[in-house]
């Protein structure tokens, strides 16, 4: 039985129940962390302090300094907002030739034995 569950943000239908699918346990946490990382100030109207604030850094020159700021903001947002995880590590590597940052988030879900890693790229959208 699942300990954690959230609605799937893609609103896929569960073929057995014909209801909206659920993300459970590790996938629920992964979806939550993705949501936290991409949240900007003003996105959550009744929680104005709930944001990560990395979008503005994507329009700065891609550099190790910006990568460090992004890394700190992501880690702080996850540690503050996602209480189901511990031992959070964030690595951000600038890739100026591709005009993006490579991000690897590693964390330990509190009720799981193995660490989980989420790799992705951050790029500005024009």
Segment 8-45, tens digit of pLDDT: 877 788 888 888 888 888 999 999 999 999 988 877 77
The helix or strand, by DSSP H or E, that contains position 89, with its residue range, turns out to be strand 85-95
So what's the architecture of 21-122 in CATH? Answer: Roll (3.10)
Domain boundaries in the chain? 21-122
Pairing assessment for the beta strands 22-24 and 100-109 based on DSSP bridges: unpaired
**What span, in angstroms and rounded, lies between the C-alpha atoms of 71 and 94?**
11
Indicate whether this model's pTM tops 0.75: yes
- The per-residue pLDDT for 126 is 58
């Amino acid at each position: 039985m699942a300990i954690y569950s959230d609605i799937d943000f893609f609103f896929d239908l569960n073929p057995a129940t014909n209801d909206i699918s659920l993300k459970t346990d590790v996938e629920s946490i992964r979806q939550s962390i993705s949501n936290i990382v991409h949240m900007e100030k003003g996105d959550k109207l009744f929680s104005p302090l709930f944001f990560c604030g990395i979008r503005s850094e994507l329009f700065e020159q891609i550099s190790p300094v910006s990568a460090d700021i992004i890394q700190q903001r992501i880690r702080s947002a996850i540690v503050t907002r996602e209480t189901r995880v511990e031992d959070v590590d964030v690595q951000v590597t600038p890739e100026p030739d591709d005009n993006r940052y490579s991000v690897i988030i590693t964390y330990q879900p509190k009720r799981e034995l193995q660490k989980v890693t989420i790799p992705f790229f951050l790029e500005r959208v024009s």
